[in-house]
Chain A
């Protein structure tokens, strides 16, 4: 019987995991329009991003909604077994598509999930705005000399008008930004590269490698691993060290244990800079690096809200509604902007529909017309591919801070005073 009870507990857990957080507001005068989010809310990164959407929706409803409509927000979880899962994301999108009240969604969080979702949403003209997807090939071809795309934006949309936008820039800037930071700022001229064999990890580490070599740096070795099969990275790291590497770049995400090698560098007695993409600018990364957190460098594919004049009041208001230590994350303000861009497009579409509930195509067409959007992370346009005109990549480093509440980056779970702190930014829109 214990076995049966164990299964009962499990299925309850699954139900909780798939049950949706978030809630609607009070009824507006004209009715309700739903927007959803599809994020891996089982992770702190995903949940803090969903918080940004909820905050934007609550703020909008408190100010009277959108042209008389109340926005109802529903947060979907695309986690399976504790990590993002493209199939779970597809199911969530299908649920939203099945409910005509859903006029758009924020998400997904991970590029691999977007790759699976766009082909389903595009024929229905369903607007998707990602706060965090950085995979290059979702919107465009990767620029040479980087490795060519293995799948193509046009194929994902399959002849339908573009329905996908993102408020962050792409890995073809993120990887090079860290390469430049390593080479020029940290004076690391020889690196070992490790990737986690995922779409994201392979892409970003490839972009890093290309730029690092262009700058004149040496790549000692490019190794890859799979979460399911590796728990000791010391032999890999030793090969880097013996090859003369003076830095380590990792392409991957914390749910693939990408920051445990950072801890093991200390076990090796090897103290050199460690850097990665936005997949490591997370609480879980700091936890994994236990004992060797300081000096972890991460990029984020957007501007830091604290570097934008005028963003402070929004962040302060957010912290009032969400006071928890891990409620604010690297993509919270990006999600806030994405939600506001979507609601603005819905507002214009309502006008197009003569004040009535617009169609999904009307929302999509208005979203495509977005120009000069004033968000917290800047004022920007979207090109016809769905990419933002902002090409800013921020660099964060884990430092010991006195007041974590004041840090825009995330902090550790037990090491609450070790936080990612903004260091520098690269603007690829401006010629350097």
Chain B
């Protein structure tokens, strides 16, 4: 059945989307300031989800594994960056040159450390099971997740861990634009995330390794026949995914200044949802999915009620999967 070239399912999907947009637009008209403010919060949260979601989607795209440990790699990125920052004479009250140097040095350091750890995880827990039934690596992924959480639990205990507040903050670094309160931190999160995602896109599309990754995702055996080193390519995928997760963990810490050992469980779940939302295996899809989930959560917290937020997010996920089984952007195979 078709309506103006659309199937009924598609038609329903657009109707529901349109209804949501209309309801939000109504709120935007009633109180535009609050609407924009909530959008700012949602974008900042969503940018962080997007960074984590990319790791899920890349790994899934290439070996069809839901890497449950990825959320914990992200959290550990926060823990390790907090630890390294402890070696600098940082100042939490005002922004000093030391703070800037610390941020510039710790970012690449923590990204590389997490990448190395993630490659290690792949080598130990996933590569030996490459040809095992699909369920086996899924279980080891859950196991790795518990191991990472256990390590963080032993390291800092159950209480929330303070992450130094070293980004510029305070009266000099916040402004009110037309009633909307914007801080330097909000901007920092969004700009950094966009920068990293752009770098990733360039890497995937313009480099030889990126091409190898795309080829491996498309057909492992054919890629191998073409002389691509599959193990190296898959390791590279884990490496890059963890670069982003490590950066995400540090950005999360800089933004919220709070971490706890099982933060990755929830964040990982939301990020995974974002990846599915955008179309798992699809890199722009994961980024867009992350931002959308961040926005939806913020709107729901404010307009519907926080107790419903989880219901709304996962309700939308079910809706998307029913109407669009391949996610919003679908699974564009060459760009996995």
Q: Collect the chain A residues with CB atoms within 8 Å of residue B335's CB.
A: none
Query: Closest approach, in angstroms, between the C-beta of B214 and any C-beta of chain A?
Result: 31
* Contact in complex: A9, B306 (CB < 8 Å): no
Whether a CB of chain A sits under 8 angstroms from the CB of B218 is no
Whether a CB of chain B sits under 8 angstroms from the CB of A389 is no
Q: In whole angstroms, what is the CA distance A257 to B140 when docked?
A: 30
Q: Collect the chain B residues with CB atoms within 8 Å of residue A3's CB.
A: 124-125, 140, 143-144, 147
Whether a CB of chain A sits under 8 angstroms from the CB of B277 is no
* Contact in complex: B301, A7 (CB < 8 Å): no
* Contact in complex: B41, A197 (CB < 8 Å): no
Q: In whole angstroms, what is the CA distance A3 to B266 when docked?
A: 23
Q: Collect the chain B residues with CB atoms within 8 Å of residue A79's CB.
A: 158
Stretch at the interface among B106-114, B225-233, B257-265: B257-265
- Known contacts A82-B153, A228-B265, A255-B158: A242-B258 contact under CB 8 Å: no
* Contact in complex: A291, B306 (CB < 8 Å): no
Which single residue of chain A is at the shortest CB-CB distance from B161?
A287
* Contact in complex: A238, B41 (CB < 8 Å): yes
* Contact in complex: B309, A229 (CB < 8 Å): yes
Stretch at the interface among B1-9, B14-22, B30-38, B54-62: B30-38
* Contact in complex: B302, A235 (CB < 8 Å): yes
Which single residue of chain B is at the shortest CB-CB distance from A2?
B124
Q: Binary interface profile of A, 281-303, with partner B (CB < 8 Å = 1, else 0)?
A: 00010011011000000000000
Q: Collect the chain B residues with CB atoms within 8 Å of residue A44's CB.
A: 159
Q: In whole angstroms, what is the CA distance A284 to B260 when docked?
A: 12
Which single residue of chain B is at the shortest CB-CB distance from A232?
B45
Whether a CB of chain B sits under 8 angstroms from the CB of A83 is yes
Q: Quick one: which of B38, B140, B260 contacts A238, CB cutoff 8 A?
A: B38
Whether a CB of chain B sits under 8 angstroms from the CB of A141 is no
* Contact in complex: A291, B266 (CB < 8 Å): no
Which single residue of chain B is at the shortest CB-CB distance from A11?
B150
* Contact in complex: A268, B181 (CB < 8 Å): yes
| A residues lining the B interface (CB < 8 Å) | 2-3, 6-7, 9-10, 13, 42-44, 79, 81-83, 197, 223-226, 228-236, 238-239, 242, 254-255, 257, 260, 263-264, 267-269, 284, 287-288, 290-291, 413-414
| Size of the chain B interface, CB-CB below 8 angstroms | 51
* Contact in complex: B158, A290 (CB < 8 Å): no
Q: Collect the chain A residues with CB atoms within 8 Å of residue B154's CB.
A: 9-10, 13
Q: Collect the chain A residues with CB atoms within 8 Å of residue B266's CB.
A: 228-229, 231
Q: In whole angstroms, what is the CA distance A224 to B299 when docked?
A: 15
- Known contacts A83-B158, A238-B302, A291-B92: A13-B150 contact under CB 8 Å: yes
Which single residue of chain A is at the shortest CB-CB distance from B140?
A3
Q: Collect the chain B residues with CB atoms within 8 Å of residue A290's CB.
A: 162, 165, 257-258
* Contact in complex: A414, B41 (CB < 8 Å): no
Q: In whole angstroms, what is the CA distance A44 to B153 when docked?
A: 15
* Contact in complex: A235, B301 (CB < 8 Å): yes
Q: In whole angstroms, what is the CA distance A214 to B310 when docked?
A: 33
Q: Quick one: which of A223, A228, A233, A413 contacts B307, CB cutoff 8 A?
A: A223
Q: Binary interface profile of B, 236-263, with partner A (CB < 8 Å = 1, else 0)?
A: 0000000000000000000011101111
* Contact in complex: B261, A236 (CB < 8 Å): no
* Contact in complex: B160, A260 (CB < 8 Å): yes
Q: In whole angstroms, what is the CA distance A7 to B144 when docked?
A: 10
Q: In whole angstroms, what is the CA distance A360 to B31 when docked?
A: 65
Q: Quick one: which of B153, B165, B306 contacts A223, CB cutoff 8 A?
A: B306
Q: Collect the chain A residues with CB atoms within 8 Å of residue B267's CB.
A: 231
**9 nearest A-B pairs in the assembled complex, by CB-CB distance:** A82-B158, A235-B301, A6-B147, A10-B150, A235-B302, A235-B298, A239-B302, A284-B159, A225-B306
Q: Collect the chain A residues with CB atoms within 8 Å of residue B257's CB.
A: 263, 290-291
Q: Collect the chain B residues with CB atoms within 8 Å of residue A13's CB.
A: 150, 153-154
* Contact in complex: A2, B306 (CB < 8 Å): no
Q: In whole angstroms, what is the CA distance A68 to B266 when docked?
A: 55
Which single residue of chain A is at the shortest CB-CB distance from B176?
A269
* Contact in complex: B262, A81 (CB < 8 Å): yes
Whether a CB of chain A sits under 8 angstroms from the CB of B120 is yes
Q: In whole angstroms, what is the CA distance A414 to B92 when docked?
A: 12
Given contacts A233-B301, A235-B42, 4 further A-B contacts (CB under 8 A): A2-B120, A82-B159, A82-B261, A226-B307
Which single residue of chain A is at the shortest CB-CB distance from B163?
A290
Q: Binary interface profile of B, 282-307, with partner A (CB < 8 Å = 1, else 0)?
A: 00000000000000011101110111
Query: Closest approach, in angstroms, between the C-beta of B297 and any C-beta of chain A?
Result: 8
* Contact in complex: A257, B258 (CB < 8 Å): yes
Q: In whole angstroms, what is the CA distance A230 to B263 when docked?
A: 10
Q: Collect the chain A residues with CB atoms within 8 Å of residue B310's CB.
A: 226, 229
Query: Closest approach, in angstroms, between the C-beta of B181 and any C-beta of chain A?
Result: 5
Among A42, A228, A231, A242, residue most surrounded by chain B Cβ atoms (within 10 Å): A231
* Contact in complex: A231, B256 (CB < 8 Å): yes
Query: Closest approach, in angstroms, between the C-beta of A125 and any C-beta of chain B?
Result: 34
Q: Quick one: which of A224, A225, A242, A260 contacts B31, CB cutoff 8 A?
A: A242
Query: Closest approach, in angstroms, between the C-beta of B76 and any C-beta of chain A?
Result: 13
* Contact in complex: A236, B301 (CB < 8 Å): yes
Whether a CB of chain A sits under 8 angstroms from the CB of B183 is yes
Q: Quick one: which of B92, B124, B160, B299 contacts A287, CB cutoff 8 A?
A: B160
Q: In whole angstroms, what is the CA distance A257 to B259 when docked?
A: 10
Q: Quick one: which of B147, B183, B305 contacts A267, CB cutoff 8 A?
A: B183
Q: In whole angstroms, what is the CA distance A228 to B124 when docked?
A: 29
Q: Quick one: which of B92, B120, B147, B262 contacts A7, CB cutoff 8 A?
A: B147
* Contact in complex: A6, B150 (CB < 8 Å): yes
Among A9, A43, A197, A232, residue most surrounded by chain B Cβ atoms (within 10 Å): A232
Q: In whole angstroms, what is the CA distance A64 to B260 when docked?
A: 45
Whether a CB of chain A sits under 8 angstroms from the CB of B174 is yes
Q: In whole angstroms, what is the CA distance A42 to B303 when docked?
A: 37
- Known contacts A43-B158, A79-B158, A238-B37: A230-B147 contact under CB 8 Å: no
